[in-house]
Amino acid sequence: MLSSYKYSFKFYKNELIVHPLNIILLFFINTSLLKFKAGISINFYEAIISFLIIFALGLAAFFVIEWMIKDRIKSSLISSYTLFVTLFFRDIVEVLAYVKITNALSIFSIFIGELFFTVALVIILLAALTLWLYKTKLKLLKLNSYLNLLTTIFLFIEIIGCSFLEVSKVELKNKIELKHPLNNITTKPDIYFIILDGYTSFSGLQKHWNFDNGELKKFLVNYGFFVAENGKTIYNVTNYSIASTFNMAELNIDTTDLYAKSSYLSLAELIKNNIVVKRFYGLGYDFINLSFFDILDKKKFYQDIYFLKKGNIYQARTIYGHIYEIYNENTADMANINLDIFNRLRTIRSTFNEKPKFIYAHIMMPHPPFYFDAEGNKTDFSYANDNKNKDNYLEQLKYCNKLLMETLNSILNSTEEPPIIVVQGDHGFRAFEGRDKSEIEFSVLNCYYFPDKDYSLLTDSSETINTFRVIFNKY
């Protein structure tokens, strides 16, 4: 009699457990579609290995819980809850932030506020669920069959949705074609492309901080730089700004969600395979990458604290990936990485071969965290992470000026052949409050050094998107 029940429809309806597996499949299909939506091919090896790891861990957790509570249905409910909050943890954090539940905790650090609240919430709910399951005498067969049905429906919706999903990757509006023959180009100076992340323009600092950045301007003018006092960027987010500059073109983007995961994946591809660096490779240049982007065959020099440092897209969405990222935000030694890049710029020419060099250095200053005061003294944690503090921003900017002038002085006095040097911000200060917020975010430092001092192609309001158009047209 028991054997016949085991193979009956009633058994499959009430006691068959598929919802934990459905949650894992939902996670992998949904996450893989982010890459598809971004127009990027899916690495099936990466997906399968990640799936097998999570499936094995989920299965092991299920058997451990079943061994502890001696009830397979109850253990499956705990397993499904644990799988859901573990795999979709980043989404839970983002939803809580979106509905402003975590806003009340913003006075604390990110780790103590948003992350702590979310972890505490899921643990409390897990404890409540476990306690209820421990005390209840119900068999919970209907709840099990309901979850089986619900997760299966969601799974089918996700699978059917694949056929209707449209690729919405970030693309170039007008791809630049460089037609001049490479063998006609004889002048190949070294090129230093230095990005000071979050550096506001001269006019912006004067207007909104009442700060006359005269010492830096005088230094630059004395060395023969062109200073665009009203420098502009057309994008106020780093990835968009760098992608457009390196491809010399505007982007087709959805402005309603600049931070969409699929957009960031598309931007990473645009930056990695950008037109500018390919052009310099074609000209016989060595490319030196001191940034947090992978570009062609050159890996990133460092891991930026605002992007996941380790792991693939599947790991990034989980509780492991999110906590790992937040941990790195609080422990990353960006202060010394910034100093190291400045030091490398001073000596990099002498440490490589005699081929012409294109050097891209992306320095996370004066962008927060504000690790330094104006004299270069290290600041404490609360000072550094007070990201909206205009005064702290200005202090770090002043120290950044000092490092920049020392570096440019070293570069220009240690080379026989004068290089081309571009020093820019990718966006301005973004934590400004008030009606001028947008103006400041798009206001950036923008300075050029050409050996012949001919700056006829530049204007006082030059936009960073045209940087390499000017250089290629000139040279």
Q: What's this model's pTM, rounded to 2 decimal places? A: 0.78
pLDDT score of 361: 96
| Structural domain spans, the chain | 2-162, 173-307+316-474
Nearest alpha-carbon partner for 412 in 362, 268, 277, 404: 404
The pLDDT value given to residue 12: 53
Please give the backbone phi and psi of residue 386, each rounded to the nearest 5 degrees, phi first: -85, 75
Segments of the chain with pLDDT less than 70: 1-14, 37-40, 99-114, 164-168, 178-185, 254-262, 305-312, 328-332, 350-353
CB neighbourhood size of 150 (10 A): 12
E strand or H helix at 195: strand 191-196
The reported pLDDT for the residue numbered 409 is: 94
Query: HEC states along 264-282?
Result: HHHHHHHHHCCHHHHHHHH
Q: What is the pLDDT of residue 295?
A: 93
Q: Which amino acid is at 11?
A: F
Strand 251-252 to 286-290 pairing:
unpaired
Residues 6+ apart with CB under 8 A from 316: 90, 308, 322, 325
Which of 429, 473, 427, 432 is closest to 454 using CA atoms? Answer: 473
What's the confidence (pLDDT) of residue 474?
85
Please state which CATH class domain 173-307+316-474 belongs to. alpha beta
Q: What is the structure's pLDDT at 419?
A: 92
